[in-house]
Copies of this chain bind each other. A is one copy, B any other.
């Protein structure tokens, strides 16, 4: 029985090899900028969800679909390059962001190139034409949703009244949609029927929402040595995460913590939030989404890959960085 850890490692190796083949030796600023973040590594979680979904629908089908699995990683990377410009972030995955190295114009174009390549790679996979057309349509709609999610996220920065429903809508678009598309497109290209494809989409969206909520928890709990990011940066920046929203709803004022915090102060905030029952509520929401994700899988026949998909949903809410 393969463990999820082994599967993810083997899958990442396979995707990394393909990335190296296609993007490892490119020439010129534009293509090197496109390849920059891709070559900086990553867990390749979206391709893993894609491959498992394909094999859960039809065992052994994923081998013919590798280019499409890569397409999901390319889509993810195009959004990272453009988001980093918008958010003015200077580093990611331990390397400087694309616009920091090559400037904004080339970074915009580098994202645009990966965007195009994503659609090209969907069509490169060895699947039925009708499935590729469905997959293309789903990827296109997903990209629109991701843009909507990012647009909402930007708009939230200047608001202090974001509701839980609005937050979940934003996260479902910004993070959930691409996990939904990863699972559904994997299934569709493997020949899934509409019920299976829809179930896989639900699996992915809910897993993605759980993933993002866990990200917010990690920001608060994980030391910077562990996560590689500033601890409690969301609270310092007054970001509208589920933690901030729940705190506000309970009348807790976190605004005095919108500044550089010491370790002791972070511990104080955590105690404050835990005592108000907020952390338990948020964990329950994440656990609920992971459960919804796993429940959606019930329309699929039992298989090793279905089991691993379920474990991915659990992994998304158990990981500590």
In the assembled complex, which residues on chain B have CB atoms less than 8 Å from the CB atom of A111? 112
Contact check, B123 vs A144: say whether CB atoms are below 8 A apart.
no
Contact check, B148 vs A30: say whether CB atoms are below 8 A apart.
yes
Contact check, A119 vs B139: say whether CB atoms are below 8 A apart.
yes
Residue from B106, B112, B119, B129 within 8 A of A129 (CB atoms): B129
Beta-carbon contacts of A101-114 to B below 8 Å, as 1s and 0s? 00011101101110
Q: Which residue of B lies closest to A109 (CB)?
A: B147
Contact check, A119 vs B117: say whether CB atoms are below 8 A apart.
no
In the assembled complex, which residues on chain B have CB atoms less than 8 Å from the CB atom of A108? 82, 85-86, 108
* Residues 128-168 of A at the B interface (beta carbon under 8 Å): 128-130, 132-133, 136-137, 139-141, 143-144, 147-148, 150-151, 154-155
Contact check, A82 vs B123: say whether CB atoms are below 8 A apart.
no
Q: Which residue of B lies closest to A86 (CB)?
A: B105
> A13 within 8 Å of B by Cβ?
no
Beta-carbon contacts of A174-205 to B below 8 Å, as 1s and 0s? 00000000000000000000000000000000
Contact check, B132 vs A144: say whether CB atoms are below 8 A apart.
no
Contact check, A120 vs B137: say whether CB atoms are below 8 A apart.
yes
Contact check, B123 vs A137: say whether CB atoms are below 8 A apart.
yes
Residue from B82, B144, B148 within 8 A of A117 (CB atoms): B144
Query: Given contacts A82-B112, A132-B133, A133-B129, are A151 and B119 in contact (CB under 8 A)?
Result: no
Q: Which residue of B lies closest to A82 (CB)?
A: B108
Q: Complex formed: what's the CA distance from A47 to B124 in Å?
A: 26
Q: Complex formed: what's the CA distance from A112 to B147 in Å?
A: 7
> A115 within 8 Å of B by Cβ?
yes
Contact check, B130 vs A116: say whether CB atoms are below 8 A apart.
no
Separation in Å of the A84 CB from the closest CB of chain B? 11
Most chain B C-beta atoms within 10 Å of own C-beta, residue among A28, A113, A124: A113
Contact check, B113 vs A140: say whether CB atoms are below 8 A apart.
no
Residue from B30, B115, B119, B137 within 8 A of A112 (CB atoms): B115
In the assembled complex, which residues on chain B have CB atoms less than 8 Å from the CB atom of A5? none
Most chain B C-beta atoms within 10 Å of own C-beta, residue among A130, A132, A144, A150: A144
> A29 within 8 Å of B by Cβ?
yes
Contact check, A109 vs B150: say whether CB atoms are below 8 A apart.
yes
Q: Complex formed: what's the CA distance from A148 to B33 in Å?
A: 12
* A-B CB contact pairs (8 Å), 23 listed: A30-B148, A30-B151, A85-B104, A105-B154, A108-B108, A109-B147, A109-B151, A111-B112, A112-B115, A113-B144, A116-B140, A116-B144, A117-B140, A119-B136, A119-B140, A120-B140, A120-B141, A120-B144, A122-B136, A123-B140, A132-B133, A132-B136, A133-B136
Q: List the 5 shortest-distance A-B pairs measured between CB atoms, nearest first.
A: A116-B143, A86-B105, A129-B129, A120-B140, A119-B140
